[in-house]
Amino acid sequence: MTLANPGRRRLLIAGAVVGGGLLIGYGLRDRNRLTPPSGLTHGDHEFVLNGWIKIGVDGVVTIIVPNQEMGQGIYTALPMLAAEELDADWSLVRAEQASVDKIYGNYVILGDALPAKPEDHGAMATTLRWVGFKLGEGIGYVMTGGSSSVRSAWDPMRLAGASAREMLVATAAKRWAVDVAQCSTRAGRVTHAASGRSFGYGELASEAAQMTPPDHPRLKARQEYTLIGKPTPRLDVRAKVDGSAQFGIDVRLPNMLYAAVAQCPVIGGTVKSFDTAPIAKLPGFKAVVPIPHGVAVVADSYWRAKSALQQLPIVWDEGVNATLDSNAILARYAEELEHGKANVYHASGDVDAGLQQAAKVVEASYQVPFLAHATMEPMNCTALVKDGACEVWAPNQAPSIMRMIASRITGIASEHVTVHTPFLGGGFGRRAEFDFVIQAVTVAKAMPGVPVKVVWSREEDIQHDMYRPAVMAKFRAGLDTAGKPVAWFNRIVGASVTRSLMDRLLPWGGMDFPPDKTNAEGAADLPYAFPHQRVEHVLANTPVPVGFWRSVGHSYNAFFTESFIDELAIAAGQDPYNFRRTLLTDSPRHLKVLDTAATRAGWGTTLPAGRSRGIALHESFHTVVAQVAEISVSPSGEISVHRVVCAVDCGMAINPDTVAAQMESAIIFGLTAALYGEITFAKGRVEQSNFPSYDMLRLAQTPLIETHIVDSGAALGGVGEPGTPPIAPAVANAVFAATGKRLRKLPLRLA
């Protein structure tokens, strides 16, 4: 991102806290990062080689995973990195969730959010880094998001594996009284080839754990990899087919109580009063506990809690948002699109002059609605406050933040707060929020000594989300006489998710924040070459809480930019694929991805009658994705997507099978948004409530999806999110090819 007005980047705190801990490693040398933290436990017959690897006498290798498993396959990808360097036997590798400790901090989310470039060593950038470091040191920043996990753990995971391997080799060499250089490792064994002797890692672990870690363990070169880059079965699949996988909602503790919650139906409203009398005698009823914006009814089973809650008379104070209406928000955005005060995110050349000189000017406006995350596992959290300590069991993406929140609510120092993170039944950014933790800890604090599990209904989940913002954008572009774009102007209007999160997280409301990078991500950093370009954003916050939703700003900016590029191709009388190619002469990586998708999809070949294709290309989270969608439109205007061909360049595919799975996942997630997704507000209330009114793609509507991995050797990119942004424009462009109608609003509706 280029900030045209450096004076705006006053404080980085926003990005720093959301982002994670680029700078956590600032004062921690790599070797220090291997030191086992106090929170690392081990079994009686298990030995700690370093903070990331434990080995049992049975040879089982347990690898500590600092990220949370929400479906993206991180419990497999990260152990693969350590197991590769360790030369472990993959069938004996297990994954374990890390404790909240600095060595497990996520280094790179913050780096992605920084308005200062990493190579900037100026006073401002240095100050920002110091602030970020101090915050990181205080909070810890174990968190998952921004498709950053592999990039963050790439170095420490491999280093941990290599270090442990050298300790095991040194132990074996000492026992045999041979030189370490004569020993080799493979599949969980150290072998001395000359004498034919070998030890399993389990036989060496107790002694190896006593060794001093090597200063500079040797890391493999890429061509030596035997595991990284190979399709590898997930470590968590077995437990996920027999019902034994433990999700947050499955936590069961002795004497545990259950809570059902109701929050004010009007956004931001509160409870005026409630009357416990009518439910006090109901079976199993225990208490009503006020929580922010609502109440929790506690009983000895969830159904009893929910039944009692339904009978509890509650009078709401609807507060200041009782007239909030999403149509009014969009009407305001349409006004701001013309007259709002804009932050310039990217400027090159002279866009006004470029437009004046153009042979043809094309203009269009687009919009997307609010969206809910709708993870399959509804929000839930279990908490216990007892004897000056607090324990939290939460399916969450940011254990460091959850610990801070629990500490803040209970007044218990964070070292006495333990956060357990079971499997997440979906995350998509929703579980980086902490509202459900606030509720559970608030209830547990009111009922000390008793663990309480708070479970939301699906209706609460849909109606009390932190939504993907509704956004509008307009474009004005100029083409020369040959149809080549010479000027590109793009203005976006919407709320800042970073600001919204900061307002929830920190008591600093009202301070001046730097422009939120996510607002223009995927719009201000296009791969296409335009001589004159300006991309700007009008910050227009609303009372609607907004949050990080799979691919964040890219989720809408890709729809805007890749639809409008298509409009320019049509205006230029050119094929949309070839038109993009001519603009990518300086972006060979993008060109190769685009070509791969087009070639594999048979772009330009004849389709069966009634079928049409659309194409889109987008980079996000350092990964480039192109997709070709093949669609048909029924006489009644219903859009069916039959086939999606996806090409992805994520630098290096650690587990190619997971990369393919994540593309499938992200495409389907994006298709649900493109075809169905819309959250609306009337009288301050969300109008949708459950799956019939906030519907999801199902098997019958799912296209064939083919993923082709392009191995460019580029730096590592993420894979959890980058598949989502291109699908909506690919489908919209195909709808135009089929019908001649340009759909500029999501969800796509022809009728």
Partner 1 sequence: MFKLNINGDDKAVDVEPDTPLLWVLRDTLGLTGTKFGCGIAACGACTVHIDGQATRSCVMPVAALEGKRVTTIEALAGKELHPVQQAWIAHQVPQCGYCQSGMIMAVEAMLRQNPHPSDADIDATMTNICRCGTYPRVRQAIQALIAGEGAKS
> According to CB under 8 A, which one of 6, 233, 292, 388 is a site residue for partner 1?
233
In the complex with partner 1, the residue whose CB is nearer, 458 or 581, is 458
Q: How far apart are CA 76 and CA 95, in angstroms?
A: 7
> Any contact of residue 73 with partner 1 (CB under 8 A)?
yes
The nearer residue to partner 1, 9 or 306, going by C-beta atoms, is 306
Contact residue for partner 1 among 134, 186, 240, 741 (CB under 8 A): 240
Nearer to partner 1, 455 or 730 (CB): 455
The residue among 162 and 447 lying less far from partner 1, judged by its C-beta, is 447
How far is Cα 35 from Cα 23, in angstroms, rounded to an integer?
18
By the 8 A CB rule, do 17 and 505 touch? yes
Q: Which is nearer to partner 1, 35 or 301 (CB)?
A: 301
Query: How far, in Å, CA of 529 to CA of 551, rounded?
Result: 24
CB–CB of 729/566 below 8 Å?
Answer: yes
| Overall residue count recorded for the chain in this entry | 751
Out of 697, 719, 735, 746, name the contact with partner 1 by CB under 8 A: 697
Residue 71 interacts with partner 1 (CB under 8 A)?
A: yes
Which one of the spans 59-67, 78-86, 310-318, 376-384 is the region binding partner 1 (CB under 8 A)? 376-384
Work out whether 278 is an interface residue with partner 1 (CB under 8 A). no
Least Cα distance to 600 among 660, 644, 552 occurs for 644
Nearest to 690 by CA among 380, 460, 495: 460
Closest CA to 652 of 600, 706, 709: 709
What is the contact mask toward partner 1 in residues 614 to 653, using x (rule: CB under 8 A)? ----------------------------------------
**Is 105 an interacting residue with respect to partner 1 (CB under 8 A)?**
no
Instruction: Tell me: does residue 682 bind partner 1 (CB under 8 A).
Output: no
Strand partners, 418: 391
* Cα–Cα distance for residue pair 403/400, rounded to 1 Å: 5
The DSSP symbol for 381 reads: E
Say whether residue 702 binds partner 1 (CB under 8 A). yes
In angstroms, give the least distance from the CB of 544 to partner 1: 22
The CA distance from 27 to 208, in Å, is 27
Contact flag: residue 364 with partner 1 (CB under 8 A): no
What is the rounded CA–CA span in Å between residue 42 and residue 208? Answer: 15
Note whether 68 binds partner 1 by CB under 8 A: no
Closest distance of CB 426 from partner 1, Å: 5
Minimum distance of partner 1 from residue 703's CB (angstroms):
8
Question: Which of these segments, 231-239, 348-356, 531-539, 709-717, binds partner 1 (CB under 8 A)?
Answer: 231-239
Which stretch in 182-190, 302-310, 628-636, 735-743 sits in contact with partner 1 by CB under 8 A? 302-310
Residue closer to partner 1 (CB basis): 71 or 265? 71
Our finding on whether 193 is near partner 1 (CB under 8 A) is no
The piece of 63-71, 288-296, 331-339, 617-625 that touches partner 1 (CB under 8 A) is: 63-71
DSSP string across 590-659: HHHHHHHHHHHHTTTSPPPTT-EEEEEEEEETTEEEEEEEEEEE-TT--EEEEEEEEEEE-SS-SSHHHH
Rounded Cα distance between 723 and 745, Å, is 20
Contacts of residue 404, Cβ cutoff 8 Å, sequence gap at least 6: 139, 414
Interface positions with partner 1 (CB under 8 A): 69-73, 233-234, 236-247, 249-250, 252, 258, 283, 301-304, 307, 374-378, 423-428, 455, 457-458, 657, 661, 664-669, 690-692, 696-700, 702, 704-705
